[in-house]
Chain A
């Protein structure tokens, strides 16, 4: 079985901490993936218009690249990329008329019929390793770390592409993941809410209000940190947290991590694999306070 890896643009720029920690963890877990040699932007947002097939071309081209590379599975990390790729794949598998139109348009490629399976990194862990096996590989259990699992929109919607496979009722794949690492997932009322998404660009006030309510809920849950898998969510909840706090009252100072960063630390990898310098300052400090990582050598 060959697994291709689709990083997505943001992981190569702003979210290196998501990619690097994930790849280091995969190596430690002995799972081999191969980055697609050629890939393009997935399109970032799945087009909902029924006749807007041109916006399916980008993700389908990536799926074709994976198929042509001989892959059975295409794994990805960014929630948005996952959502777009998985839905485009579903379309190519299930909607014959659209599939034919798209294949006819992309006449320089060999026709695609959904041969590749798109999986999110969390599901790769769940299916390929399993939570119990993962627990056994943990070298630094994140004991005493209370974490709010944030799914946001695109990991769960629509239900056909939701991570967690057989999750019934409320999703629990992130909670299972955190438990396997030895951390404590808290009940988090805003776990499936929107982080504000692109609202920050169009309507910053509303965007901040949205993100603020997620952060406030995390505060109410008494979590030490929020964990997520989406660079856009991280931007709204993490990077912009200080701005939000300056505008909206009652916002806690709460570190935001990519789930792969906690995975890398729990697997006992060097703190450098986490690239915490790209997170808000309080992130690394929390891990140090909890003695999961050492303080960096003081600089002169």
Chain B
């Protein structure tokens, strides 16, 4: 696209990257402002779309005691913000054998007894750049509710800021990951229709028809494609095709 390299019209504002002052355009995200200042990221930059957890950033504003957080790729700079990225924070993750683990809270307590060091200070929730109610899912796990913990922690991007602020030194995001897996694979009802399809494919049900399809000349394939029956946009689970060809 015509990426016109002209001087931006936006005003420049001062920000402090790790304490050092740089002038950057006021419309930039923190990530682009850091690049504008001349840094090339190795750490602290990932998907640039707000989901990977690489660019968590903490900052303070002039004259304000509070610590703020945000994803560098999603947060717009403000004049006189003091910022640093925390692309990594050590947190203990314990190994486990998923296959044999019981989907009960006790499994989590055994691996992460520090869960009970939580004093409900809420620093985790306050720092979370995704607005996850971290304290609430930790509380849910203390009372053994894996379903609630899964739901509440679902938007977690595992950036680790919660662990950086925890006075109980919990690795919250590892604990939540364990809870979500136990819920998703062992507590939530499994898809029976999926199991059946997997079995029928393993038994070779479609082997012959796939061989035929692969051997078809393009024009015949095009014909099959054009004539294939389309499931209506507004159909529900009850919809069935008018014939069973290919099923």
Contact = CB atoms under 8 A, between A and B. Distances in A.
Q: Note whether A and B contact each other (Cβ less than 8 A).
A: yes
Interface of A: 7-13, 38-41, 43, 54-55, 57-58, 61, 105-106, 108
A9 B143 CA distance: 4
Contact of A38 (B105, B126, B133): B133
A69 to B, nearest CB: 15
A11 B105 CA distance: 14
Nearest to A105: B121
19 contacts: A9-B144, A11-B143, A12-B143, A12-B145, A13-B105, A38-B133, A40-B118, A40-B142, A41-B116, A43-B119, A43-B120, A54-B121, A55-B119, A57-B119, A57-B120, A57-B121, A57-B122, A58-B119, A105-B121
Contacts of B139: 38-41
B135 interface: yes
Interface in B134-173: 135-136, 138-139, 142-145, 167
Interface string B107-131: 0000000001011111001100000
B131 to A, nearest CB: 12
B26 to A, nearest CB: 28
Interface in B183-206: none
B118 A108 contact: no
Instruction: For chain B, give the interface size range.
Output: 10 to 19
B144 A13 contact: yes
A282 to B, nearest CB: 25
A12 B144 contact: yes
A41 B118 contact: yes
A40 B135 CA distance: 8
B124 to A, nearest CB: 11
Contacts of A55: 119
Nearest to B135: A40
Contacts of B125: 108
Interface string B18-48: 0000000000000000000000000000000
A9 B133 contact: no
B120 A40 contact: yes
A276 to B, nearest CB: 20
A41 B122 contact: no
B144 A41 contact: no
B102 to A, nearest CB: 14
Contacts of A11: 143
Looking at A7, A11, A41, A43, the one whose CB has the most chain B CB atoms below 10 A away is A41
A11 B118 CA distance: 19
A39 B138 CA distance: 10
